Structure 1
Amino acid sequence: MKKSINSSSSISRRNFLGSCGKMTTISVLSSFLQLKLANSLMAALPTGSITDYKALVCVFLHGGNDSFNMLTPYLQPEYDLYQSVRSNLALDRESLLAIYDTENADRRWYGLNPLMPEVHSLYDSHHLAFISNVGTLVQPTTANDYVNDVGLPQGLFSHLEQQLAWQSSIPDSISQTGWIGRMSDIMNDSSTTGTETVSMNISTAGANLLQAGVQVGSVNVGSAGANTLGDYNNTPSVKQAIDKSLAQNYKNVIRNHYNHIRKETIEQANLIDDATSGISLATVFPNTSIGQQLKQAALSIAARDQLGVKRQTFFVSMPGYDSHAALLVSHSKLLPELSAALQAFDNAMLELGVHDNVTTYTASDFGRSLTSNGDGTDHGWGGIKW
């Protein structure tokens, strides 16, 4: 897919994101984040000097999304090639939702999966852009390099290693920190107000490498808030026993540190719950896991003043995208849920008046093979993001 997918010729955040497809290799991103200049600039700013609000939301599709059946070529020669290679898994051409080229409004270059009408609406509203053929890359790579295993990402087709690569932005080795975590370390002193009560990083999908920094970590809450701490909040005897354990000082340094992390996690999760419990959104979110995770992110954004933060990041995720078998069946459930949740989140950002201050993006382990294995597709490399 070589054609730029833009629906506006003006300079905009959407067009900028689309243009970033030219430099979305992980090695480039890593280089940007490692620049000492960024650290020096942020260090020069006094605490609380950042007064505007910005948030970044990662929607991670675990398993390796088959994006070839999400955004599909529509012009007849390209579609015929797609259909020939995909065989029994190819989407029907006439069912595709039109993606038009703004420079040639009569040309329908691409079609979106008909299961995603909300995403289609976001695209038409200039609220969403697609970036095609995005994958981990250490250096510019030729077919000969690939055959001879020269300069390739570590664990190229491995779920775990590629998830870690996307989240660390270091594709050729294992890192202990994520790129958002490192960014948070750099920004933390200048982006806080002095009244912040929680980390700028919130996860509704458990611990993740993406938000792990040296100084700044993430606070983990459930899709329904801190009440997912379950028996701790709901059963007095359990709470008493855990609190007694948390109050202990252990001789073992590792055990003591672990206890400190447990205590801090509970405290911060409850602070988020307190800040968000009185907030009511007019936007209705789908009663799905991804819908409720994004609702929790929206509530935390709405509570930004109570939490005292000017910069926030969120990690939400969906499992189920490892489509070695039953691709069409799994997509029939996953894609509508994702599409509806993204539309609701976009509506909530408009409702809160921060639509232009919040960027949401998708990521996945890797793309899938263009060829069918009979009932699904196998591990690939590049895929389509938005």
Structure 2
Amino acid sequence: MPISRREFLRRSMYTTLGGVGLYSGFGNLRLLQAAASHSNYAFNDYKALVCVYLYGGNDSFNTIVPYDNATYATYAGSRAGLALAQADIQTNSLIPAAFAGGLPGGPPSDGAAYGLHPAMPELRGLFNAGHAAVVANVGSLLYPITQQQFQQGRVQPPPQLFSHDDQTAQWQTSRPDDANANGWGGRMADVLSSGNANPQFSMSMTLSGTNLFQRGVMVNQYAVDPGGVQAMSYLGNGPESWVAGGTTDDTNAYNALIRGPSPSNALERAFAASSSSAVDYYSVLINALGQAPALTTTFPDTELGNQLKMVAQLLQVRAKLGASRQIFFVSASGYDTHTNQLAQQQANLTQLSQALSAFYNSTVALGLDQSVTAFTASDFGRSLSVNSGGTDHGWGGHHFVVGGAVRGQRFYGTMPSLLPTAAGNPDDTGYGQIIPTTAVDQYGATLASWLGVSVSDIASIFPNLGRFNSSNLRIFG
């Protein structure tokens, strides 16, 4: 679908300003040097990570819900007006596998029986078939922290807790201590891209616009619309003319701007480089997608379903892009459920469950189920306590990891208490927000290790990882 000149300029400026921002801070300069020196990655297989970001903060305590009598009673006592029916949860029960081989991951740590929200039968099927796992109580952390340490101020928590913008930035960078940090997906791409046959083609592809998660120093994220690759309509007669060197004034002027001698101004150089790359990427990608067969998997016609459908189409053409490693970003909005949560979360989780299931099925059809892993992330979990028909901004929350390589049908991490604050819940801040027990650093480092990032590079990408008791959750064995 062609885009207007105004829309093109808006997107170009986002890309350019993002690129300039990459060079701020000594930490990023050090990572640039590290990325430049790590050119020894070589892969003889293919792997991709797909970040499914839930904007607004998903209420995971009504996503993964206990149904055994004792724990359900505790849950219902904390969720007045929002508690889901016990029978509905039991119908959608999760059947965890036992601990095996001395590895973490098995039944939930609190010994309770859990099920998924009734809107999620597809994801329940993936879990019970061993293709999905639950990672419990994940959140942004600087250090491990207990309720007493938090309340007495003896351990530093992340700054600006419970703020959408700040917590989104901290989730997507894993660096609460560095406001200028790039995303941990972008940092992974910086060190891994040399292993692709065509490292000039970005291994970071977004189906949901510019995001901080994929912002890197060496590798810029490349945006693809869920409906296909968009052309810039004001450039002459469209992409065929300007890629081929058309003769219109607009085309010639634009080509002179992005292909001419290197400008002296840093902003102009960043703009020219990103625009030139976008033109080159478009030419390769539109040809590759045009030759790909139609997918055999049916996807739901939803915001998230259409994004993941395009990811599946991009997976089909990975070889033509010279890709051995890729990182994708998709997202869904509407998770900030202060009111009307029951209806809103029903719609949200229906979309999530159906889209993730269709995507996993597409990887099976493509023979890539062992090679592609999708995982959820969100601003924060929501409060265990309720307000007027909804929940407030929280902290820790549960997440899903989906893929054939996952040691699925298992819970990882520690399930928190579901007691109300007034009853002395030992895991909340004192206001209903649950304190995380698994750091974003641990979650991200586990995914990075599976993708093929070396131990030394993981330490550079997640410099706070050593503060936590485990650097790998062993979700993949």
4+ long deviations beyond 6 Å: none
What's the TM-score once normalised by structure 1's chain length?
0.82
Instruction: Pick one of 156, 166, 172 that aligns with 2:171.
Output: 166
Letter in 2 for 1:253: A
CA offset digits 1:359-383 (Å, max 9, x no partner): 1100000000111102110000100
Is 1:320 the counterpart of 2:337? The answer is no
Alignment of 1:210-221 (within 5 A): 210-221=213-224
Distance 1:269 1:221, change over 3 A: farther
**What residue in structure 2 maps to residue 116 of structure 1?**
120
Find the aligned partners of 2:87 and 2:210 in 1 and give their Cα distance.
Answer: 42
Q: How does 1:116-265 map to 2 (within 5 A)?
A: 116-149=120-153, 150-189=155-194, 191-193=195-197, 195=198, 198-227=201-230, 229=231, 231=233, 236=238, 241=250, 244-248=253-257, 252-265=265-278
Q: Does the 8 Å contact 1:61/1:321 carry over to 2? A: yes
How far apart, CA to CA, are the structure 2 residues paired with 1:101 and 1:126? 9
1:100 pairs with 95, 112, 121, which one? 95
CA distance in 1, matches of 2:87, 2:223: 43
For residues 122 and 53 of structure 1, what CA distance do their matches in structure 2 show? 22
After superposition, what is the alpha-carbon deviation per residue over 1:323-358, rounded to whole angstroms, capped at 9, x for unaligned?
Answer: 111111211211111111101100110011110111
Counterpart-to-counterpart distance in 2, 1:197 and 1:257: 15
Does structure 1 conserve the Cα–Cα contact (< 8 Å) formed by 2:96 and 2:128?
A: no
Q: Residue 3 of structure 2 corresponds to which residue in structure 1?
A: none
| Residues 292 and 157 of structure 1, relative CA distance in 2, 3 Å threshold | same
1:385 to 2:423 alignment: no
When normalised by structure 2's length, the TM-score is: 0.67
Query: Which residue of structure 1 aligns with residue 38 of structure 2?
Result: 43
The correspondence of residues 367-378 of structure 1 with structure 2, limited to 5 A, is 367-378=381-392
Contact 1:64 1:368 in 2 (8 A): yes
Paired residue total: 343
- Residue 213 of structure 1 aligns to a residue whose secondary structure is coil
CA RMSD of aligned residues (A): 2.7
More helix by share: 1
- Aligned equivalents of 1:243, 1:165: Cα separation in 2: 42
Q: Which residue of structure 2 aligns with residue 267 of structure 1? A: 280
- Separation in structure 2 between the aligned mates of residue 178 and residue 119 of structure 1, nearest angstrom: 28
> Structure 2: which amino acid aligns with 1:257?
A
* Match 1:278 to one of 252, 270, 291: 291
- 3-state SS of the aligned residue for 2:273? helix
Can you give the 5+ residue segments of structure 2 that lack an aligned partner in the other structure? 1-29, 99-105, 243-247, 401-477
Query: Any unmatched runs of 5+ in structure 1?
Result: 1-34
Superposition deviation, residue 162 in structure 1 = 1.0
Q: CA contact under 8 A between 2:189 and 2:216: conserved in structure 1? A: yes
Alpha-carbon offset, residue 243 of structure 1: 6.0
Instruction: Please tell me whether the aligned partners of residues 200 and 313 of structure 1 are also in contact (alpha carbons under 8 angstroms).
Output: yes
Structure 1 partner of 2:49 = 56
Cα distance in structure 2, aligned partners of 1:138 and 1:285:
39
Q: In the alignment, which residue of structure 2 is the partner of 1:17?
A: none
